[in-house]
Amino acid sequence: MSKLPVLVVAVWLLIAPASSAEIIITEMMQNPAAVGDSDGEWFEIYNSDGSAVDLDGWTIRDDDSDSHTITGSVVVPAVSYAVLCRNSNPAVNGGVPTCAYQYGSSIALANGADEIVLLDGSMTEIDRVEYDGGPSFPDPNGASMELIGDPSTVDNNAGINWGETPGTTTFGDGDAGSPGAQNPGFPVELQSFSVE
């Protein structure tokens, strides 16, 4: 009798519904310098859950008119990262090599204040970051904003938990950022997770 509840819990973890997903926005390039915003904008997400999450049918939006529904399977493995890009071609997007999905021109990350909101296929809000263009969040040019600390425990909608990626951490054509990899501010003891 005591083994049955354990088995049920194990099966539930393997088929957990999308609304229980732990997808967290961990990095944003809203103002690239190596290329224009229309090609070089991107943001990174982290799946802190023990199960893979498929973003098919999820919506990316802001609080104004930007909105895009993801079409096709975009699987974010357990405890892994994925990068969603305005342009997924590394030859023109500033050298972002790891775009899991291209959302195109329907989403623009404002250089000042804006929001990134993620809704699952049932339109349940999974995560949001409301950055403010400087008073609380960083306001970098040619560098990404990165979440500092363990993404599964820190509040990613609080500007105090974000920093500008240091110029010593560059990618592609020279902008600072770590798309698809752990942020430099991520605790060293947790840097064993896989990266997609």
Which tens digit of pLDDT belongs to each residue from 89-147? 999 999 999 999 999 999 999 999 999 999 999 999 999 999 999 999 999 999 999 99
Q: What is the pTM of this model?
A: 0.85
**C-alpha pair distances (Å), 54 with each of 19, 43, 81, 111:** 11, 17, 13, 29
Range of the domain at 157: 20-190
Let me know if 180 is exposed, middle or buried by CB neighbors in 10 A (0-12, 13-18, 19+): buried
**Residue 75 domain-assigned?**
yes
196 confidence band (pLDDT: 50, 70, 90): very low
Q: Are 110 and 53 in contact (CB under 8 A)?
A: no
**Residue 10 domain-assigned?**
no
Examine the pLDDT at 39 and tell me if it is beyond 60. yes
pLDDT at site 184: 85
**Residue 82 domain-assigned?**
yes
**Residue 32 domain-assigned?**
yes
**Residue 185 domain-assigned?**
yes
Return the CATH number at 124. 2.60.40.1260
| Per-residue pLDDT tens over the stretch 44-103 | 999 999 999 999 999 999 999 999 999 999 999 999 999 999 999 999 999 999 999 999
pLDDT at site 152: 87
Which residue, 118, 136, 135, 144, is CA-closest to 57?
Answer: 118
Taking the C-alpha atoms of residue 133 and residue 143, their distance in angstroms, rounded to an integer, is 13
Average pLDDT score over residue span 165-185: 93
Of 4-8, 115-119, 168-172, give the lowest mean pLDDT range. Answer: 4-8
Backbone torsions φ then ψ of 10, nearest 5 degrees: -60, -40
pLDDT at site 119: 98
CB atoms within 10 A of CB 44: 29
**Residue 11 domain-assigned?**
no
Joined tokens for residue 169: 């951490």
**Residue 15 domain-assigned?**
no
In the chain, how many domains are there? 1
Which residue, 21, 13, 28, is CA-closest to 116?
Answer: 28
**Residue 7 domain-assigned?**
no
